[in-house]
Copies of this chain bind each other. A is one copy, B any other.
Amino acid sequence: MELMISAIEAILDNIRDAEEFLNEEDVANFIEIITTAENIFVTGAGRSGLAAKAFAMRLMHLGLSSYVVGETISPAINKGDCILAISGSGETNTIVTTAQISKKRGAKVLALTSYPESSLGQLADEIINVKGRTKVEVDDENYLKRQIKGNYTSLTPLGTAFELTALVFLDGLVSELMDAMGKTEEDLKNMHTVLE
């Protein structure tokens, strides 16, 4: 069980380290855009997509009109809408394309990425910087850099550290949204599906 405990610690360490890059203004801008958008779309590939869905579900519980790109009933995105795109590297092909189309149609683009200077980061209206070892670094040829990170790398394989940090940050945002919208847990509960 030692490895499991070490992996959990590595994940918690990453989240704590990443917290220091959180910025009051970025968070405020996210809240402002999300609460004033007509519809909020979310997108992400693989496990980042699961984090996106977990957030979209809470947006719905908050009474906001949220959609997951690729699910059955997602309509056309338009001016007045926003889209939250999650990509550790900021270079995931389908996610960058989706963000580009959305921007071109007049929607605001919110990004969660470890690389603000990435393609996604550069086209985003607002970014929350989510530090976390991403799949990009797995490809990184820089042996030294890996050595410094030591065992951590194999304990949080591929994008694990980024994905979990992004998810926890988004659940943090939910608290801010509840407060900004004056919503109680009871309000959320009333929106929760009963068909499961």
Partner pick for A12 among B15, B94, B101, CB 8 A cutoff: B15
Query: Would you give the shortest CB distance from A145 to chain B, in whole angstroms?
Result: 14
Type the 1/0 row for A41-79, where 1 means its CB is closer than 8 Å to any CB of B.
101011100100110111111000011111111111100
Residue of B nearest to A99 (CB): B195
Known A-B contacts A68-B72, A184-B154; the reply to A8 vs B1 at CB < 8 A is no
* A67 to B66 Cα, complex, angstroms: 12
Task: Give 1 or 0 for each of A74-97: 1 = CB within 8 Å of chain B CB.
Answer: 111100000000000000111101
Other than the given A4-B173, A157-B174, 14 more pairs (CB < 8 A) read A1-B28, A3-B172, A8-B15, A8-B172, A12-B15, A68-B71, A69-B193, A70-B70, A92-B196, A93-B196, A154-B184, A157-B178, A164-B164, A164-B168
